[in-house]
Amino acid sequence: MTGTLTAPGDKSISHRALIFGAMAIGETRIRGLLEGEDVLDTAKVLRALGADLSQESAGNWRVHGVGVGGFAEPSCVLDHGNSGTGVRLMMGAVATSPIACTFTGDASLCRRPMERVLGPLRLFGAAAYGRKGGRLPMTLMGAHDPLPVTYRLPVASAQVKSAVLLAGLNAPGETAVIEAVRTRDHTERMLRHFGATLRETTDDAGHCVITLKGDADLRPADVTVPSDPSSAAFPAVAALLVEGSDVLLPGVLMNPTRAGLYETLREMGADIAILNPREAGGEPVADIRVRASALKGVDVPPERAPAMIDEYPVLAVAAACASGRTVMRGLGELKVKESDRLSAIAEGLKANGVAVEIEGETLIVVGKGRGGVEGGATVQTHLDHRIAMAFLVLGLASRDGVRVDDVRMIATSFPSFVGDMRALGAELN
């Protein structure tokens, strides 16, 4: 595989750019927006709540917001498709407005836990009525007289942190979120960019306390969305594994709360050069050059998991083609992603001749070495875009190829994946 691949806009930043734009008064312009299904579903939901969003040309959008607390009660069900980020952030965004919203999603999203956001949103005064176990579909009644909240995150989740901060915008006083392990900080960065007042301090336990001034006004702001490191991860690992590859991935987000995969791959012996580091739109970005490499197994510590939580499917594929064992710790959260990724990874690798063990929240992959994976099996993707892309990458590196049962979900985050990979010379049929 050779050439240049510009990965699509970052999904986390794209959701937030639309949501913050819709909560500001005036016109926000966005460049490089990811036009994947997840983000387009968020745009539809924001329209149903009264914001005006329009595409000017590919990736370039204008948003006319309604202001903090300005969402209108929607007359339809809010369907977030496959997107946990979309629904959880929007639940936070409406929780402190006196409106009723009914949320739903596809079969994957309707299986995922929402209680993790509903718990803190109830503290603001919101109420939720949904299926057993806090599952969608669900109606959220926003608080009439919201209270400010201080919330210690019980799980390392940027979605929960962001839901609380978004709710705090329309509550009086100060809302605080305490996190033991830093999760992606795009909400904090973008809130400041849109004029909110936020401070970060450290408590006695050394945990980060993020405090937001409530009753906030957001002012519109321009946003340039960098390339998504979680999407760039697929061509990057493919280039490492396919003999003779030399691939350039320009303008990839290098925020330290997202860059764990690249650090891990380098520890495995990957030839990855981080070129031309710079700042774009308030975020660090760089061009990444990846050349085919012989990888060795490593031990990935649990504290790194939040900085690469979406990258374990493709890291496991890299591990399968490395020499020696790779031990990935602290992966409990993988069970509640678009699929139960811990078992989807294990099943897919085993079917293709790779030995895998799961011990509690630890995944161990016994590498077959360069060119050692046989392949030949069909992998169940369980409505999960990243499982589909990861196993297609395994197919490129294997002797007999790998088939996946469903590629539709790839359009949620990386609609141009197949065409972009073929343009680099990858054999995808």
Q: What residues are annotated to the active site?
A: 310
Residue 324's DSSP bridge partners are 367
Stretch binding ligand S3P (CB under 6 A), from 18-26, 158-166, 272-280, 363-371: 158-166
Instruction: Pick the closer one to ligand S3P by CB: 91 or 402.
Output: 91
Provide the minimum distance between the beta carbon of 243 and ligand S3P in the complex, in angstroms, as a whole number: 31
The answer to whether the CB of 149 falls within 8 A of the CB of 139 is no
Stretch binding ligand S3P (CB under 6 A), from 17-25, 135-143, 151-159, 242-250: 151-159
Q: State which of positions 302-321 bind ligand S3P (CB under 6 A).
A: 309-310
Provide the minimum distance between the beta carbon of 332 and ligand S3P in the complex, in angstroms, as a whole number: 11
Provide the minimum distance between the beta carbon of 338 and ligand S3P in the complex, in angstroms, as a whole number: 8
- Verify binding: residue 28, ligand S3P, rule CB under 6 A: no
Among 42, 85, 231, 381, binds ligand S3P (CB under 6 A): 85
- Verify binding: residue 412, ligand S3P, rule CB under 6 A: no
Instruction: Pick the closer one to ligand S3P by CB: 184 or 193.
Output: 184
Q: Are strands 78-79 and 100-104 parallel, antiparallel or unpaired?
A: parallel
Among 12, 257, 339, 398, binds ligand S3P (CB under 6 A): 12
Provide the minimum distance between the beta carbon of 83 and ligand S3P in the complex, in angstroms, as a whole number: 9
Instruction: Pick the closer one to ligand S3P by CB: 96 or 162.
Output: 162
Hunting for tokens 């603001």 — which residue is that?
A: 124
**Binding-site size, ligand S3P (CB under 6 A):** 10
- Verify binding: residue 157, ligand S3P, rule CB under 6 A: yes
Among 217, 333, 361, 406, binds ligand S3P (CB under 6 A): 333
Stretch binding ligand S3P (CB under 6 A), from 153-161, 367-375, 397-405, 421-429: 153-161
- Verify binding: residue 14, ligand S3P, rule CB under 6 A: no
Write each residue from 93 to 112 as x if it is in contact with ligand S3P (CB under 6 A), else as -, in one continuous string.
--------------------
Nearest-angstrom CA–CA distance, 146 and 123? 9
Residues 6+ apart with CB under 8 A from 160: 88, 116, 117, 120, 153
Residue 374's DSSP bridge partners are none
Residue 327, class by beta-carbon neighbours within 10 Å (0-12 exposed, 13-18 middle, 19+ buried)? middle
- Verify binding: residue 162, ligand S3P, rule CB under 6 A: yes
- CB-hemisphere CA count at 13 Å for 408? 7
Residues 6+ apart with CB under 8 A from 188: 165, 198, 200, 210
End-to-end CA gap in the chain: 15
Nearest-angstrom CA–CA distance, 354 and 367? 7
Instruction: Pick the closer one to ligand S3P by CB: 117 or 270.
Output: 117
Nearest residue (beta carbon) to ligand S3P: 12
Instruction: Pick the closer one to ligand S3P by CB: 177 or 322.
Output: 177
Residues near ligand S3P (CB under 6 A) are: 12, 85, 157-159, 162, 184, 309-310, 333
